Amino acid sequence: MKSISLIIPSRTNLKYLKWAYTSIRKNLGYIHEICMADDFSDDGTWEWMQEIAEKDSNVKIHRNEGPTRLGHTILYDTLVNDYATNDIVMIYHADMYACPNLDTEILKHLERGKVVSATRIEPPLHPDGPEKILVDFGIEPEEFDEQGLLNFVSDHVGTREDETTNGIFAPWAMYKDDFQSIGGHDPLYAPQSKEDSDIFNRFVLAGYDLIQTWKGLVYHMTSRGSRFKDGAMRNPAGQVFMKGRESSEWLQQNLRSTRNFIRKWGHMVRHDELMYPIIPPKYDVGFMVENCDINMLKELEPWCSNIYTDCDVQKYIEDEQPDTQFDLSKKILPYIQGADPKNNILVRFDAKYLTPQNFQILVNLSDILKESGEVGDMELEIFKFHVKSLDSYESELINVVRSNK
């Protein structure tokens, strides 16, 4: 069997990390390398990692010394590039239990130019979907029904008519040089959120096949990092749900990453029901906006290549620039009446007449332009379009361009 390097960052998540590590060694043996990173934890994670590394010669460990977190967007790549010694790497979450034969089922389908995902079995903490299996075998390691899970896996593996489908979600494995050839994860999204959707888009554009095996399985506790810090609970009726709300840290970072994803791709994250990415064309679009203000600028700016506006933008740039690697001073430019900027597609409108309803035209602009397929002038509600070219450049987004900032 080929050896895999499992890539597992963790932050203040020790009980889940111990559970994940134990499952890998119990069910997959010691043939595979485990590369773990501690992201400035305060729960004894680093001390435990050091103890494990002394006992287990096939473990590599790394620590972010702080004083702030780096996030898995950065640490995945640190482990892949600086620690993994095998040709194959698997991006793995610290709250996942590796079921028997996970490795053999992944490797059965893996070759260069392919990315192979396992299938997740999860407790009903999030909505069901056709890409996963919702069965409750516990919401915390303390109540985990290991034997029940193993019996279920033994009874159900191979009962599907289709052994594989096309889609992607962690854990996923690929050849390390395929990962590195497109630059790995984009640090635009550090510390976390949307870095996975971004790299999945880039896998598709690079021509990689995305395969999910339904015989390779993990049990996934779900969202036990920064999103739901308090874990999950069960009420007297047996229903399960997350304790508390999504953390303010996660919500703020998710908003930043969502805005950066839109800036880069021109659309929200899209995928089909089996998690296969849907990638609309990325056009060079300039918005020419009259009667704009700072609040409107905040809503509009991510959705275009350039925005030409008649409002004072300096305060917006000062506030927003720390949250993005895009140079907003070059993106946001003065509105000049009668000017014809160089963007391939110009959209002129008066912000006074912008509503939540017609804003959706801008949100879906890539689809509208692709469906139209027309070069020239047209109008739609409050918007006047001047389409010089429908050349798209999503293929230019495959390789990561790293900022010097």
What tens digit of pLDDT does each residue of 332-355 get? 999 988 888 999 999 999 999 999
At 226 the pLDDT is: 61
Q: Is the peptide bond before 130 cis (omega within 30 degrees of 0)?
A: no
What's the pTM value of the predicted model, to 2 decimals? 0.95
Domain boundaries defined on the chain: 4-265, 285-389
Label each residue of 339-382 as H, E or C. Answer: CCCCCCEEEEEEHHHCCHHHHHHHHCHHHHHHHHCCCEEEEECC
What tens digit of pLDDT does each residue of 260-301 get? 999 999 999 999 999 999 999 999 999 999 999 999 999 999
CATH architecture entry for 4-265? Alpha-Beta Complex (3.90)
Instruction: Report residues of the chain scoring pLDDT below 70.
Output: 225-231, 241-245, 402-405
How far is the C-alpha of 321 from the C-alpha of 327, rounded, in Å?
7
At 230 the pLDDT is: 65
At 244 the pLDDT is: 63
What tens digit of pLDDT does each residue of 202-254 get? 999 999 999 999 999 999 998 776 666 666 777 777 777 666 667 788 889 99
At 257 the pLDDT is: 98
At 404 the pLDDT is: 43
At 315 the pLDDT is: 95
